[in-house]
Structure 1
Amino acid sequence: MTSPETLSWHAALHRLQQEARPHALASVVGAAGSTPREPGAKMVITADDTHDTLGGGTFEFQVIAAAREALAAGEIGTRLEAFPLGGRSGQCCGGYVHVLLEIFAGAEMSVALFGAGHVGQALVGLMAPLPWRVLWFDSREDIFPEGSESQPRLSCRRMASGEDGPDIESAVTSLPAGSHVLVMTHDHGEDRRLIDALLKRGDCASIGLIGSKSKWASFQRRLRDAGHDQTSLDRVRCPIGIPGAKGKQPYEIAVAVVAELLTLKPASEQDDSRGVPPETLREVFANAPPKRSSSQP
């Protein structure tokens, strides 16, 4: 399926990387014989869209399928695919194409921030350059700063209010699995209801609550009465922020909290061998047709 708004590959790549959405960049890096496109041709592929083209036909469909298989498996990095145009691709060109697939997983992690007060606003500003998707919640009207919605990777969501106050349950249910959650609303009762709902959900990567040790001790008594055991309560960090950080200004607190989140983000796998295996590249270049000289005697 191609989006009604089909972009050039470079415009699509810029937008998807700004939004931290999973995507793949497919580039023709080698061609022999008659082929649909020349080396350097590129297209961008997501789970449900494509932008630009490598020439169409069965060959392009197979490139798209290979990219989406990698995206669905959560792969990241590069892989080299070979397409003989006539056998595997069911085309009569008779050529041979090597395509480099670069797989981008999107956001490193999702952060759900409950509270748009001074610390929350400082936090959002600090997280803006990072490749994290941020879901920002508050129950108050007109609390989000002007222009917030235009920030890439940021979604501002006002919690609907009912007879019992903000609709905490719906907000918590909407979170992606594995989110890192920060609770810092303007109301202690709202904070406690959020912690209760988050612990009941049970699949958050981490839960942080702003406040003092005495605040957390008070919360724990009420949460135990609600049925949470100590193992569950120990999943909550309160106070939040990297240990040893000093300062009570909103920006100082925000710096300490972002630093702590950096210690919690998933570790990237480091290996001595990354990208396309060297032996694969050697084989590709060894079998490449000789370059024709531009000067003839």
Structure 2
Amino acid sequence: MLDIAADLHQWVQEGRDFAVATVVGVGGSAPRGPGAALAVDGEGTVIGSVSGGCVEGAVYDLCVQALQEGRATVERFGYSDEDAFAVGLTCGGVIEVLVTPVAADASDRAVLAAALSAAAEGAGAALARITRGPADLLGRPLLVRADGTYEGSLGAHPELDRTVAGESRALLAAGRTGDFALSRSGARCESDLTFLVESSVPPPRMIVFGAVDFAAALVRAGKFLGYHVTVCDARPVFATRDRFPEADDIVVEWPHRYLDRTATDDRTVLCVLTHDAKFDVPLLAAALRLPVAFVGAMGSRRTHEDRRRRLREVGVTEEELAALHSPIGLDLGARTPEETALSIAAEIVATRQGGTGLPLTGSRTPIHHEAPGSRRQRVVSS
């Protein structure tokens, strides 16, 4: 639901009634993961997607039905269903979809509106909803903020709200969307409950060091992938808004000094395109000691070997050097700045999502990988 927060927030402000279908569970080769959403308003306008086209027609009908009947429901689509070909999910996967009506007079609308507002503004917030349990509790929302405060109620018991808020805050801190179950004893409810928690966090950072011609293309690729992109270079004549109009930030500073003072986290990717040892070495020596998602450096193989030697001389260990992606990018035969940017972006995606970087043709690896460190469903009890 939060993946289409900006549009839904606009619908809320306009006073529209709508229904939202959210993927709450997947199995096998499903085209989209938990949290993917499709919404339909009272006029039949559609935004979002839950399956990349496979079952959109059937989900559209469920949304219309939910608006008419005013109740939430969970539906399952999979290749083993008799109507799999009728609805179109023929990729071999299974998805479960929670469909929730959001009428103007709905009791939960204020909580959902606050969650959509936070996500649309890029603030840290998590939305927890009941996806399995008694019919009258399906879709009940709880908005949890980064400081642990929460809004709304899941409607069963105050202890349930507190427990779910704690679990949601942990997922929010990791920047992850995931599900979990509460046992009957832990939740003090008549039946076990399952929850989906959607996390809204600021976009991850991509910092491009070196205001070179390849950097402009990489900035565009980074923005396409959803990164907040910063270009940093010590040379003011090159690090200009005219050269990088699509960058979020342009910083004129020695790269290692900027890296030392700026905020990074385990989603940050660092791309070093400077081609100059006086910039590269102090920058990479600092970068390889940070808990970031990706560190890559451009250069020929000769430059790469010389760079490794210089880094060893300043105390970088072999273990730290093993984290360096250099020469940066996958082997696509790239030559132009745009092709090179594509090869770099592809390596970043493969690294972050656990892909092999190999062609899918003839491969027996899963098409949809589970990202490294992702959380599977777990059972929590007190």
Indicate whether the TM-score tops 0.5: yes
* Counterpart residue number, 1:128: 223
Structure of larger gyration radius: 1
The CA deviation at 1:44 is: 2.6
Say if 1:140 and 1:158, in contact at 8 Å, map to a contact too: no
Say if 1:17 and 1:106, in contact at 8 Å, map to a contact too: no
Pairing partner for 1:137 from 213, 219, 232: 232
Pairing partner for 1:44 from 143, 150, 158: 143
* Closer, same or farther: CA 69–253 of 1 in aligned 2, 3 Å: closer
Pairing partner for 1:9 from 112, 122, 134: 112
The amino acid of 1:45's aligned partner reads V
Say if 1:82 and 1:98, in contact at 8 Å, map to a contact too: yes
* Counterpart residue number, 2:128: 25
* Closer, same or farther: CA 120–22 of 1 in aligned 2, 3 Å: farther
The amino acid of 1:77's aligned partner reads G
The amino acid of 2:286's aligned partner reads A
Separation in structure 1 between the aligned mates of residue 266 and residue 308 of structure 2, nearest angstrom: 24
Unaligned runs of 5+ in 2: 1-109, 355-368
Say if 2:125 and 2:143, in contact at 8 Å, map to a contact too: no
Separation in structure 2 between the aligned mates of residue 20 and residue 263 of structure 1, nearest angstrom: 27
The CA deviation at 1:265 is: 1.1
Unaligned runs of 5+ in 1: 1-6, 90-94, 150-155, 161-165, 278-297
* Counterpart residue number, 1:78: 179
Separation in structure 1 between the aligned mates of residue 305 and residue 192 of structure 2, nearest angstrom: 64
Pairing partner for 1:222 from 310, 313, 320: 310
- Higher normalized contact order (CA 8 Å, seq sep 6+, divided by chain length): 1
The CA deviation at 1:205 is: 4.5
Pairing partner for 2:346 from 234, 255, 259: 259
SS at match of 2:304: helix
Separation in structure 2 between the aligned mates of residue 265 and residue 26 of structure 1, nearest angstrom: 27
The CA deviation at 1:194 is: 1.3
The CA deviation at 1:83 is: 8.6
* Closer, same or farther: CA 241–72 of 1 in aligned 2, 3 Å: closer
The CA deviation at 1:247 is: 3.2
Separation in structure 2 between the aligned mates of residue 66 and residue 226 of structure 1, nearest angstrom: 43
* Closer, same or farther: CA 159–197 of 1 in aligned 2, 3 Å: farther
* Counterpart residue number, 2:335: 248
RMSD: 4.5
* Counterpart residue number, 1:208: 296
Say if 2:143 and 2:150, in contact at 8 Å, map to a contact too: yes
TM-score (norm 2): 0.49
Separation in structure 1 between the aligned mates of residue 377 and residue 308 of structure 2, nearest angstrom: 48
SS at match of 2:119: helix
